[in-house]
Amino acid sequence: MKIISTLFLMLLSLYAQKTLNVLTRNAPTTFYYAADGTKAGFEHDLIMEFAKDNGYKVHFIIKNSIKELIESLENREGDIAAAGLTSTQGRRKKFLITPGYYNVQEQIVCGHNKEPQDVADLKKYSIEIITKSSYVESMQTLKQKYPYLKWRENEGYTTEHIFNEIDKKKVDCTVSDSNIIAINRRYFPHLHVAFAVSEKRQLSWMLPRKSDSFKLHAQISKWIMKFKKSRKFTRIKDRYFAHTAFFDYVDISIYHKRIKKVLPKYIDSFKRAGKKYDIDWRLLAAQAYQESHWNPKAKSPTGVRGMMMLTLATAKELGVTNRLNYRHSIEGGAKYMKNLMRRTSDGVKNRSDRYKFALAAYNIGMGHVFDAIRLANKIGKNPYNWTNMKKILPLLADRKYYKELRYGYARGSEPVKYVRRINNYFDILRQYYKN
């Protein structure tokens, strides 16, 4: 009887949960569906953490543009807007604005050798920006000093759409937040930042000005101030933005070309191996690109060879008789990665992190990864998430630490770079192949 009462109370509690209607956009920096069909995105993850901590259910309302989203918030169609929005003077007059949680800066971004030096130079170029965006306010402010400044506004476009127009040479330049540019330069490698047109601002959530919003606004504001100091916030932030700080135009430009011209020859082999060993084939392809640039005859002075750059000893252990046969190499590399994922500590619960730990072991050896875990425990850091591990691994090159480790010295910064680059290649590949 007691068990039935407990279950009843639990069900009643779930039923009583208030639903938070969240206005957002479908974009790489806000909300999207991941490869496995789950919801993801920086704003999505933050909202879900707030909801979990405060007992809300969440209903996302997807809008196609900033204009639609702002108008929906004005019409009070949602409780909150979480869509990569910055606090501007105009928005502060209309909405309740939460404390900020991530710094961005509005920048002029152009493509294909369009290189304005300053605002006055913009008169030479065609500029397109999003209607109802903070960029419009910034440009209007600049126009007071530079009255000849002109631009075209698009109601239905997203920033990513305008980037595509720039890539096709239909538009010269646009204005965008720095975080959006950083992510999209991987997909549009011709984009380059000319200069900033605003001071640094913070992304914020916005609520309609209605009587029942003030209590929610106070609750969110208190939560944000606490949460943005937490390790969980750091992990979410790193998941979406840590790798964007590193950009190699030449490398990424070549990668885009090889995706179109080279990858199709090997794609079936990646898909077969991925299915067999339950690994996203695009991750395997990204790893192979980092290893060999999809060159099945690749070799290094250290003796590793083939598409997945297997050592002779590892190849024998995996049953690979010909490392230069790309089918054998891909199969062997996938099998090896599966083995490394199995050997990764049970403490690493997150699947994405498990793959990163396994990648680090592929690059530096599982012994050194275990050393890093032991070292993290010793200095009081949680060793079971990649956010911490990428800070611990470089310490393996510090004599203060490695002299007491079982496997000794290692160039621990190398696997961190290795994982970062593969993650970057993987993100780009997902834009070409959705599954």
Looking at this protein, which amino acid is placed at residue 183?
I
Q: Could you give the percent of the chain with pLDDT greater than 70?
A: 93
Report field, pTM of the whole predicted structure over 0.85: no
Residue 175, strand partner residues: 108
| Strands (E) located in 95-163 | 95-97, 102-110, 128-130, 152-154
Q: Do domains 103-202 and 252-432 have the same CATH topology?
A: no
Per-residue model confidence (pLDDT) at position 20: 96
Which CATH fold would you assign to the domain 103-202?
D-Maltodextrin-Binding Protein; domain 2 (3.40.190)
Per-residue model confidence (pLDDT) at position 33: 72
**Banded model confidence at residue 398, pLDDT cuts 50, 70, 90:** confident
Tokens of 117: 């030096």
The CATH code for residues 252-432 is: 1.10.530.10
Report how far residue 192's alpha carbon sits from residue 182's, in angstroms, rounded to the nearest whole number. Answer: 10
Per-residue model confidence (pLDDT) at position 211: 85
In contact, 177 and 86? CB cutoff 8 Å = yes
On the question of pLDDT at 4 being above 60, the answer is no
Per-residue model confidence (pLDDT) at position 11: 47
Q: Which residues participate in catalysis according to the annotation? A: 291
Residue 21, strand partner residues: 59
Which CATH fold would you assign to the domain 2-101+203-242?
D-Maltodextrin-Binding Protein; domain 2 (3.40.190)
Angle at 14 between CA 8 and CA 15, to 5 degrees: 85
Q: How many CB atoms lie within 10 A of CB 98?
A: 25
How far is residue 414 from each of residues 28, 244, 359, measured CA to CA in Å? 27, 18, 11
Looking at this protein, which amino acid is placed at residue 121?
D
Mean pLDDT estimate for the chain: 89
In contact, 328 and 354? CB cutoff 8 Å = no
Q: What is the pLDDT of residues 315-367, one digit of tens each?
A: 999 999 999 999 999 999 999 999 999 999 999 999 999 999 999 999 988 99
Q: What is the pLDDT of residues 165-224, one digit of tens each?
A: 898 899 999 999 998 888 888 778 888 899 999 889 999 999 999 888 999 999 999 999
Q: What is the pLDDT of residues 86-112, one digit of tens each?
A: 998 889 999 999 999 999 999 999 998
Angle at 371 between CA 368 and CA 375, to 5 degrees: 140
What average pLDDT does this structure show over 279-307? 90
Report how far residue 173's alpha carbon sits from residue 165's, in angstroms, rounded to the nearest whole number. Answer: 9
Per-residue model confidence (pLDDT) at position 205: 98
**Banded model confidence at residue 35, pLDDT cuts 50, 70, 90:** very low
Per-residue model confidence (pLDDT) at position 301: 58
On the question of pLDDT at 157 being above 90, the answer is no
Angle at 358 between CA 354 and CA 359, to 5 degrees: 115
Per mean pLDDT, which range of 57-71, 231-245, 320-334 is the poorest? Answer: 231-245
All structural domains of the chain with their residue ranges:
2-101+203-242, 103-202, 252-432
Report how far residue 13's alpha carbon sits from residue 272's, in angstroms, rounded to the nearest whole number. Answer: 46
What average pLDDT does this structure show over 50-79? 93
